[in-house]
Amino acid sequence: MVTTLRIHKFLPSTKVEGPGTRACLQVQGCPIHCKGCAVPFTWAENGGISVEVEALAERVMKGPQVEGITFLGGEPFAQAAALAELGRLLKQEGLSIMTFTGYQYEELQQGGDPDVLALLAVTDLLIDGPFQQELLDTSRPWIGSRNQRYHFLTERYRHLEERLQHIPNRLEVRLAPDGRVAVNGLAEVEQLEALLRDLL
Ligand code: SF4
């Protein structure tokens, strides 16, 4: 059976969505609906596009050299089975997996859903917790609110645990040939607005 994923966006290579240079997969669909979510256009389950997991794995492996992939959302655990399969395929090739979730690690573990546990099992670094606008804090790498936590589920990135405060948040700006500007990464709204003012 062909496994498919509903995705919003795929970046073959980025330096701002986790350790090192990584592919990044933004999945479509999120049932959590955090107040102040920066990506509400990823909430609808039927938005985005449908892609085959094997084709995505091939795209990652044939694309620019990366050390891993980051799954973010939307809510990755809403498509746990397909992402676990993608994660397994990429781990076989030596890539690392970083996964964001709006759920708490403990609730994912204790729920006992085999697909959820399978996605946890392929994840090296998990960032958990919903974005909370009132706890906005961009001083830690890759995450936007103080309640969110880093879980080093394997030894792959354990060495970063003591160094997190030295890793800055960064933004990437891409300019397409047709003049469209796309931004990813993390910054304060004011910084982003200033940047776009200068660019546009
Ligand atoms: S879990 Fe993430 S994508 Fe979903 S509503 Fe919260 S911040 Fe937005």
Q: What is the mean pLDDT of each run of 10 residues along the chain (200 residues)?
A: 94 95 98 90 96 98 98 97 98 98 97 97 97 87 92 97 86 75 70 66
Q: Which of 8, 17, 25, 33 to mutate to test the pocket of ligand 1 (most atoms within 8 A of CB)?
A: 33
**For the CA of 101, the nearest atom of ligand 1:** 1
For ligand 1, whether the C-beta of 131 sits within 6 Å is yes
The alpha carbon of 177 and the centre of ligand 1 are apart by a number of angstroms equal to 30
DSSP state of 135: G
Check residue 148 and give its pLDDT.
95
Whole-model pTM?
A: 0.90
All structural domains of the chain:
4-169 (3.20.20.70)
Transcribe 67-97 into DSSP letters: SEEEEESS-GGGGHHHHHHHHHHHHHTT-EE
Q: Is the separation of the CB atoms in 128 and 148 below 8 Å?
A: yes
The alpha carbon of 99 and the centre of ligand 1 are apart by a number of angstroms equal to 13
Q: Which of 8, 25, 28, 32 to mutate to test the pocket of ligand 1 (most atoms within 8 A of CB)?
A: 32
- The span from the CA of 4 to the CA of 6, in Å, is 7
The alpha carbon of 39 and the centre of ligand 1 are apart by a number of angstroms equal to 7
Nearest to 101, CA basis, from 192, 29, 23: 29
Closest residue by Cα to atom 8, ligand 1, is 37
Structure tokens at 132: 């909370």
Alpha helices in the chain (DSSP H): 53-62, 80-92, 105-111, 114-122, 189-199
